[in-house]
């Protein structure tokens, strides 16, 4: 790097010094690549191992041979996971809960986000304060009475109860994301619409919503993945196996010691990860920006 | 969107002409007003999101604080009675709870510190012009994207005493064989801490990286011309400009880690012998396995107090930072 910057004259005057610097830079570079390799192994190896296990036959998994590459790519784990281990019904439950949560979160937080972004003052201060607190508050104290309340109204062990709870706990961050997207739409555009005599609803539908589409998609994906991945509420609130969501079924797989079918378990785990991977692949840049804003501004 | 308020024409607020005078430039901007009509409208817009929060978050919270003063259980035919401070008195002498509290603190502290160190290292690497950057970035985000249950299952496989790759690798280098990482008293907590770092690192890395990219490149170049080596540049340029981000993510990460549940629960359920029993696991087991909801709520109260304390430290640092800048 610095070698290319060095002018020829300097090169002629101090050839020995340049050489020292070059070896130093090279050594530094080498060190950087070694640490990068360490990170890549630390981050990537567990993933590779999981994927590899999902293609291993149970005979290979139960033998003591340890190898990253499956001996013969065994595709049976995926259908096995679906058919025999009840994953298909719990994937259905997860899909139902996640889709409904997404819909509710969007419907409810859209007006709220608009208000947060456009109205200054107490409401905005209160809203952002509450959003921050909701991100760090331990749910353990809330879950005990929540369980009792939902039990009284018959919503324990019920997917609808889960949807309501997920909606409540996904909304704060969804609101925060959405209000950021609303704030990025210039108010002047709305003003222009208003001057042309359009009603507020018309302004919202014809001007704001079309511009908000990417934000809505991002928020919807976030809500979907949150509900799809959620574990704690489902563990407490869902009791009968036919109502299990995917994370709970996977957990019960692990808990049901004795004969754990490792191959289908790994296959199920891989399948459960797919929605989130899509989400992060699409949104990684936006999320990084959002994280930073959240970290700095609180 | 059936809210009738939305269909009102976007007339400037007649009841608050003062607002228009004060902020002349914004006078015609339809929804940035501060008048009473606008405020009422804002409240209508916020109400749909407030209702579920009141029912499923605020009400349970208040009830939760109250339940701690009763002998509430989930057992049948049990009449709940008010018992005053009994639960808290019992909690004071509950060595298992305080042990889980201690483990929770060790866990939260180690994970947060290692997350910061490892995340800083990776962010620095990603911020220098090395090859494989895009790939590393994407890979670094994966742990964050995965469902916690899947992460736990995956690491159980890695740590497996039988055909686990970790033992195999150690065996290859002549290390001891067949360590039951998650089942051994001495190794269980460090083993789950490593997984905690694995999961939490991406967020720290990406946040730090985004912060580093806001440091003007000229600063580093100028320092480099003046002969400052990488370490000096890091200490005197990068680190000071990252300070607000570091305080903020460290305190948030600490609170998040202290509150964590699913990851460790699936890996060990708090075992072996309670060596990985985080406070949230302990409270969960007391409430929903032992069914002593009143007593568990008292634990919850104490834990909430701790988090509120940490939160006020965080807010205080934020506030102080804002005043200084």
DSSP track, A232-243: HHHHHH--SGGG
Cβ neighbours of B129 in A, within 8 Å: 1
**What is the ipTM metric for this complex?**
0.83
| Rounded average pLDDT over A279-287 | 68
Assign A147 a pLDDT band (cuts: 50, 70, 90): very high
Q: Taking a C-beta distance cutoff of 8 angstroms, is the pair A118, A189 a contact?
A: no
pLDDT of residue A46: 93
Q: Is there a contact between A144 and B125 if contact means CB atoms under 8 Å apart? A: no
Contact A28 B163 (CB under 8 A): no
Residue B192 has pLDDT above 90, yes or no: yes
Residues on chain B touching A296 (C-beta within 8 angstroms): 211, 244-245, 248
More confident position, A249 or B8: A249
Beta-carbon separation of A43 and B140 below 8 A: yes
Q: Which of A29, A68, A111 to mutate to test the interface with B (most CBs of B within 10 A)?
A: A111
Query: Could you tell me what percent of chain A has a pLDDT over 90?
Result: 30
Q: Which of B57, B152, B259 sits opposite A138 (nearest CB)?
A: B259
Q: What is the pTM of this model?
A: 0.84
Q: How far is CA B303 from CA A141, A233, B65, B99, in A?
A: 8, 18, 11, 13
DSSP tag of A6: S
Q: Are B20 and A86 in contact (CB under 8 A)?
A: no
> Nearest C-alpha of chain B: how many angstroms from A19?
16
> What DSSP designation does A63 have?
S
Indicate whether A7 pLDDT > 60.
Answer: no
Q: Does A27 touch chain B (CB under 8 A)?
A: no
End-to-end CA distance of chain B: 41
Query: Of residues B229 and B97, which shows the higher confidence score?
Result: B97
In B84-196 the beta strands, taken as DSSP E runs, fall at: none
- Residue B6 to residue A200, Cβ atoms within 8 A: yes
Task: Name A278's Cβ contacts closer than 8 Å, sequence gap at least 6.
Answer: none
Strands (DSSP E) found in chain B: none
For B234-257, write each residue's pLDDT tens digit: 888 888 889 888 988 898 899 999
The Cα–Cα gap between A5 and B126 comes to 23
User: Helices B188-212 & A262-297, crossing angle to 10 degrees?
Assistant: 40
pLDDT at B102 over 60: yes
| Span A96-124, pLDDT tens digits | 999 999 999 999 999 889 888 888 777 77
A51 vs A259: which has the higher pLDDT: A51
| Chain A residues close to B10, C-beta within 8 Å | 190, 194, 198-200, 203
Residue A258 pLDDT exceeds 50 = no
Mean pLDDT for B124-150 is: 83
């Amino acid at each position: 790097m610095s070698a290319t910057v060095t002018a020829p004259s300097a090169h002629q005057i101090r050839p020995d010094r340049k050489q020292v610097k070059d070896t130093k830079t090279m050594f530094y570079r080498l060190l950087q690549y070694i640490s990068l390799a360490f990170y890549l192994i630390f981050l990537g190896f567990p993933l590779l191992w999981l994927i590899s296990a999902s293609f291993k036959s149970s005979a290979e998994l139960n033998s003591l041979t340890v190898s990253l590459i499956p001996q013969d790519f065994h595709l049976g784990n995926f259908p096995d996971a679906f058919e025999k281990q009840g994953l298909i019904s719990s994937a259905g439950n997860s899909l139902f809960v996640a889709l409904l949560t997404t819909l509710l979160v969007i419907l409810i937080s859209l007006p709220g986000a608009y208000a947060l972004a456009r109205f200054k003052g107490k409401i905005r201060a209160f809203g952002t304060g509450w959003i921050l607190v909701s991100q760090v508050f331990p749910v353990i104290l809330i879950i005990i009475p929540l369980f009792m309340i939902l039990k009284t109204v018959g919503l324990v062990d019920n997917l609808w109860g889960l949807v309501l709870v997920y909606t409540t706990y996904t909304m704060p961050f969804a609101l925060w994301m959405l209000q950021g997207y609303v704030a990025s739409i210039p108010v002047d555009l709305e003003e222009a619409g208003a001057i042309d005599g359009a009603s507020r609803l018309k302004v919202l539908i014809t001007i704001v919503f079309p511009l908000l589409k990417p934000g809505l998609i991002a928020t919807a994906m976030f809500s979907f993945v949150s509900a799809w991945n959620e574990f704690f509420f489902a563990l407490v609130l869902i009791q009968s196996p036919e109502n299990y969501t995917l994370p709970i079924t996977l957990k019960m797989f692990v808990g049901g010691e004795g004969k754990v079918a490792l191959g289908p378990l790994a296959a199920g785990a891989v399948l459960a990860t797919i929605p989130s991977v899509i989400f992060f692949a699409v949104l990684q840049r936006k999320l990084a920006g959002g994280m930073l804003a959240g970290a700095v501004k609180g | 969107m059936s809210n009738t308020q939305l269909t009102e024409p976007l007339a400037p607020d007649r009841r608050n002409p003062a607002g228009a005078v004060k902020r002349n430039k914004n006078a015609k901007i339809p929804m940035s007003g501060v008048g009473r009509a606008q405020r009422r409208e804002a409240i209508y817009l916020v109400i749909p999101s407030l209702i579920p929060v009141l029912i499923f978050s605020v009400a349970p919270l208040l009830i939760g604080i109250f339940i701690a003063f009763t002998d509430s259980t989930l057992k049948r035919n049990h009449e709940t009675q008010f018992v005053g401070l009994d639960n808290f008195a019992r909690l004071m002498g509950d060595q298992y709870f305080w042990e889980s509290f201690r483990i929770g603190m060790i866990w939260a502290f180690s994970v947060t510190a290692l997350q910061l160190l490892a995340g800083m290292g990776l962010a620095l690497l990603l911020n220098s012009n090395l090859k494989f950057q895009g790939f590393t970035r994407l890979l670094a985000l994966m742990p964050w994207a995965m469902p916690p249950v899947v992460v736990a299952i995956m690491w159980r496989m890695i740590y497996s005493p039988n055909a686990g790759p970790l033992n195999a690798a150690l065996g290859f280098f002549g290390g001891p064989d067949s360590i039951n990482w998650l089942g051994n008293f001495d190794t269980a907590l460090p083993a789950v801490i490593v997984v905690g770092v694995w999961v939490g690192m991406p967020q720290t890395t990406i946040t730090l990286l985004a912060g580093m990219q806001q440091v003007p490149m000229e600063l580093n170049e100028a320092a480099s011309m003046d002969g400052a080596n990488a370490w000096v540049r890091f200490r005197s340029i990068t680190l000071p400009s990252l300070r607000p981000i570091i305080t903020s993510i460290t305190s948030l990460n600490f609170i998040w880690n202290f509150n964590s549940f699913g990851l460790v629960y699936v890996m060990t359920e708090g075992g072996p012998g309670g060596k990985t029993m985080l406070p949230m696991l302990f409270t969960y087991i007391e409430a929903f396995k032992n069914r002593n909801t009143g007593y568990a709520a008292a634990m919850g109260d104490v834990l909430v107090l701790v988090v509120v304390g940490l939160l006020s430290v965080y807010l205080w640092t934020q506030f102080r930072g804002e005043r200084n800048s």
